[in-house]
Amino acid sequence: MTEASALFEPFPPVKDREFKADQNNPAIRLYGRRFYQDQTPVEYLAELLLVFASPKEEGGGATFSLSVDDAIGTARYWPEDRVALKLFAFFPTSRLDTRHAVHRKAYGEAISEIRSRIDASDTDKDEVVRLLQSLLGGFVGLVCNRTWVTNTFLPASTVLLGREVAWLHSAAQRKRDLNDWEDVSHLFARDRHLFMARGGELLFLQLANLFASPDSEAMMAGFDPTTYKHLNQCELSQIQVRLELGLRAILESTNVGFTGLVGFIENALSRFRIDAAPREACLGWVPVVSRTEALLFAYEMDNICASTLGSLEKLDLLQLLCCMQVLRSLCFQGSRFDNGQGNTNGFVGNYAWIVVDPEARSGMPLRMLAQSSFDRVQELLYRVLRQARQEGAIEKKFNEARKHGFKIFARIAKQLGLVIPRTSVGQRFVLPPALLRFLVAALIPPGQRVRLNVFYERVFAHYGIALGSQQLATALHWMGGESGPADYAVATDTGWLEEALQQGGFLVELSDAVSMVHNPGAGRDAA
């Protein structure tokens, strides 16, 4: 296998015909199947957890697992649809023009069914229904300008995890004989991937790919032992066990009463399910070489799961982690494919992001470098899409590929506040307090602390984010290319970073010369 073809080797193996079809889209060819620009942050996490918690075998089994069947063409899972629960929770606040007459009728029947199972006066029954809907309203992950069935719950419990189901509105409008729920069940599609667009599946597959060959020594061979000594003690099999337990604990943290209430609603509305039993969903694939960034992803997820933060706080951090992993994956694979780039000492990814204080004034040198850094990354991602096009591919496929690669980076980075402003000129990398807090939680094991300079090194080693002078020098060298100057006299003010860490309660000053960054979350063995 040539070096170039190795970049596209898929995990799990896929059928030749399907794989060749994917190769027509340069973004899918590069990054796997698939990232998509319309997928929102909460839907990346919700989809990842949906695959994790769902059976990987027909009829059940292999739930709460970070493994898949890696025989050719058999990577599948069986997710619930949660349509009945969404009808009860999301229909009352949905767009009026998306409410089909049969949906309105079904909603009325659903409310009547719930009321009939409540032993109380009519007034009290109405109050209970409102309370149940308010309770579910507290777990809304996403309500956008969509049909009610495509809205998403916050993935705070297994009973709130559901596959994407789309309503075929145009097809329904062309039919005149739709009177009851049974008449429209075939107009709910499970294969569109419009919003849960496979991005979460792809992140799940990166982890499954990592754990499929649990040879820790071979995995670490690609990492510099000095830079990544914090990974040297990582046994892949142990990380997998901890992650499976940690993610499951988050999903099962909601109390029995809440789970029972959701079960009551779904049992009462069982006739509004569109499938009597979960239907299979086929997983896509990821490049085998993505194991490198997957190990960083797993290490960070393990730290977050191990903390003593509340489950909702962990979900918030995991959502950030999923988005950062998408950005990292795009840059890792783009850098691999772009042969013209040199190495970045201290970072295995061979790219760099230069960040600046969000409040930095216009014209400041570091702000200008942060702007140039963002432009350089955008150029890289656009260039590799052009280079990855198959010979003879039509331009339409390249325009589609931009939605699966190039456009995603800026969109997610702006949603996270990693890039500002959202519009207009001068877009640049920054590091807002929320992302700084995330980096502490993800890169320092809970209850531990590291020197400030070590923290800067670790941030660079995982994300290519240049904070200290040494990392900035490496980033400038990467931006300058092989023809750039060999040495830089770099001086950067990190006072804003130290102040932000101090305000977050993460900085411990032992003396004028020594500062430590502390992750206050207790470790695994804490009482």
DSSP 163-190: ---EE-HHHHHT-S---SHHHHGGGEES
Residue 433: asked if its preceding bond is cis (omega within 30°), the reply is: no
3-state SS assignment for residue 193: coil
Instruction: Point out the least confidently predicted range of 30-34, 133-137, 440-444, 482-486.
Output: 482-486
Torsion of CA 248, 250, 252, 255, to 10 degrees: 170
- Long-range (24+ apart) CB contacts under 8 A made by 209-218 are 209/11, 209/12, 209/286, 209/288, 209/290, 209/291, 209/294, 210/236, 210/291, 210/294, 210/295, 210/298, 211/66, 211/67, 211/236, 211/237, 211/239, 211/240, 212/11, 212/67, 212/70, 213/291, 214/240
pLDDT of 488 strictly over 60: no
Does residue 402 form part of some domain? yes
Residue 327 has φ and ψ, to the nearest 5°, of -60, -45
* Secondary structure of 415-441 in HEC code, one letter for each residue: HHCCEECCCCCCCEEECCHHHHHHHHH
For residues 327 and 324, give the distance between their C-alpha atoms in angstroms, rounded to a whole number: 5
Q: Over pLDDT 90: what percentage of the chain?
A: 70
Contact 129, 264 (CB under 8 A): no
Does residue 238 form part of some domain? no
For residues 501 and 518, give the distance between their C-alpha atoms in angstroms, rounded to a whole number: 9
Q: Is 393 exposed, middle or buried (0-12, 13-18, 19+ CB in 10 A)?
A: middle
Q: Which residue has the tokens 């040539």?
A: 2
3-state SS assignment for residue 161: coil
| R_g over Cα of the chain | 24
Q: What is 482-498 written as a DSSP string?
A: TTS-S--------HHHH
- For residue 414, count other CB atoms closer than 10 A to its CB: 15
- pLDDT per position as a tens digit, 55-75: 998 888 779 999 998 888 889
- How many domains does the chain fold into? 1
Contact 313, 426 (CB under 8 A): no
Per-residue confidence band for 353, with pLDDT thresholds at 50, 70 and 90: very high
Q: Which residue has the tokens 């990292």?
A: 328
Q: What is the pTM of this model?
A: 0.94
Mean per-residue pLDDT for 199-225? 91
Cα atoms in the Cβ-side hemisphere of radius 13 Å centred on 239: 26
Of residues 3 and 76, the one with the higher pLDDT is 76
Mean per-residue pLDDT for 166-192? 91
- pLDDT (0 to 100) of residue 341: 63
The parent domain of residue 488 ranges over 353-518
For residues 440 and 321, give the distance between their C-alpha atoms in angstroms, rounded to a whole number: 12
Contact 299, 231 (CB under 8 A): yes
Cα atoms in the Cβ-side hemisphere of radius 13 Å centred on 168: 13
Which amino acid does the sequence have at 480? G
Contact 100, 241 (CB under 8 A): no
Instruction: Point out the least confidently predicted range of 370-384, 393-407, 499-513.
Output: 393-407
Torsion of CA 448, 413, 460, 34, to 10 degrees: 100
Does residue 435 form part of some domain? yes
For residues 272 and 9, give the distance between their C-alpha atoms in angstroms, rounded to a whole number: 42
Residue 346 has φ and ψ, to the nearest 5°, of 95, 0
- pLDDT (0 to 100) of residue 60: 81
The DSSP letter of residue 162 is: -
Give the chain's length: 527
Does residue 493 form part of some domain? yes
- pLDDT per position as a tens digit, 293-352: 999 999 999 999 999 999 999 999 999 999 999 999 999 999 999 875 668 999 999 999
Alpha carbon distance, N-terminus to C-terminus of the chain: 51
Does residue 96 form part of some domain? no
Contact 170, 147 (CB under 8 A): no
Q: What is the mean pLDDT of the chain?
A: 90
Instruction: Point out the least confidently predicted range of 12-21, 209-218, 231-240.
Output: 12-21
Q: What is 440-484 written as a DSSP string?
A: HHHHS-TT-EEEHHHHHHHHHHHH-EE-SHHHHHHHHHHHH-TTS
Mean per-residue pLDDT for 84-92? 94
pLDDT of 445 strictly over 70: yes
Residue 400 has φ and ψ, to the nearest 5°, of -65, -40
Mean per-residue pLDDT for 264-275? 94
